[in-house]
Amino acid sequence: MNCPTEPSLAGNRAVVTGSTSGIGRAIAEELAAAGATVIVHGSKKREAAVALVDSIQAGGGEAEFLLCDLAQSSCCDKLVEQAWQTAPVDTWINNAGVDVLTGEAADWPFEQKLNALWEVDVMATIRLSRAMGARMKQRGSGTIVNIGWDQAELGMEGDSGEMFAACKGAVMAFTRSLAKSLAPEVRVNCVAPGWIKTDWGESASDYWQKRALGESLLNRWGTPQDVARIVRFLVSSQASFLTGQMIHVNGGRKGTGVVPLNRPESGWNL
């Protein structure tokens, strides 16, 4: 019996939006390690983008970067054009999202946060997927992976739960329809992470630390690398019969309300 091997992406040209940090960075590094030529994308963090490209190249991989503010529709069009200009794109990962949980944005009012999330997490994902998907379909091949949220299908209490469920739920619903529109030439799937320890998770309060562990059957936070490995599989030939799927990367869910603590009134903005 042959042992399974890590899927190779040699010859694959991949774009990962929002890849200067967190889950996006881990995805870019994972795809590059698998042999893909990676286009790193960031909004304004040029230094972070350059640092990631340098790191990938130092490890023997191939990478370049493009900067673009995805809240602007014209920039979305420009990103697609620039990415396709040198050579056709085989893989497109819509990871970019607005951080409204940390920094200055944590103090924004609800509607401002929701508007920011909607423009980047939802509208940019739709614009980019449709534009790149049309090119891939005409070419005859390609893969697109969107990033959702496992609790969008279950619901979560509080301001943050409401806005993230609305936005990521839209992305997940869009993924299912786009998969039908682009089949059979292009595969479209969605990864729905659970509690993943990015920057917010590192500084989250004791309540959220216990809740993250308490809601996972594996009793731990997920890591950006956990998500990245699933994305690598989904865009590889080993997943050639998967499209229109929601892949939950959450360690298995026990359900909600399993942590007997008083929930902070301020939701996730801690």
pLDDT tier, 199 (very low <50, low <70, confident <90, very high otherwise): confident
- Estimate the crossing angle of helix 125-139 against helix 159-182, to 10 degrees: 20
Residue 15 CA to residue 83 CA, distance in Å, equals 7
CATH number at residue 71: 3.40.50.720
Q: Judge whether 255 lies within some domain.
A: no
3 state SS of 123: helix
Q: Judge whether 89 lies within some domain.
A: yes
Convert 241-258 to b/e letters by CB count within 10 Å (16 or more is b): eebbebbbbbbebeeeee
Q: Judge whether 233 lies within some domain.
A: yes
Q: Judge whether 269 lies within some domain.
A: no
pLDDT over 80 at 68, yes or no: yes
pLDDT of residue 219: 92
30-63 per-position pLDDT tens digit: 999 999 999 999 998 899 999 999 999 999 999 9
Q: Judge whether 51 lies within some domain.
A: yes
pLDDT of residue 1: 41
Q: Judge whether 7 lies within some domain.
A: no
Q: Judge whether 266 lies within some domain.
A: no
pLDDT of residue 235: 98
Enclosing domain of residue 204:
13-249
Write out the E strands in the chain: 13-16, 37-42, 62-67, 91-94, 142-147, 186-193, 246-249
Q: Judge whether 123 lies within some domain.
A: yes
Number of domains the chain contains: 1
Q: CA neighbours within 13 Å on the CB side: how many for 232?
A: 26
Q: How open is the CA angle 104-105-109, to the nearest 5 degrees?
A: 120
Quote the pTM value: 0.91
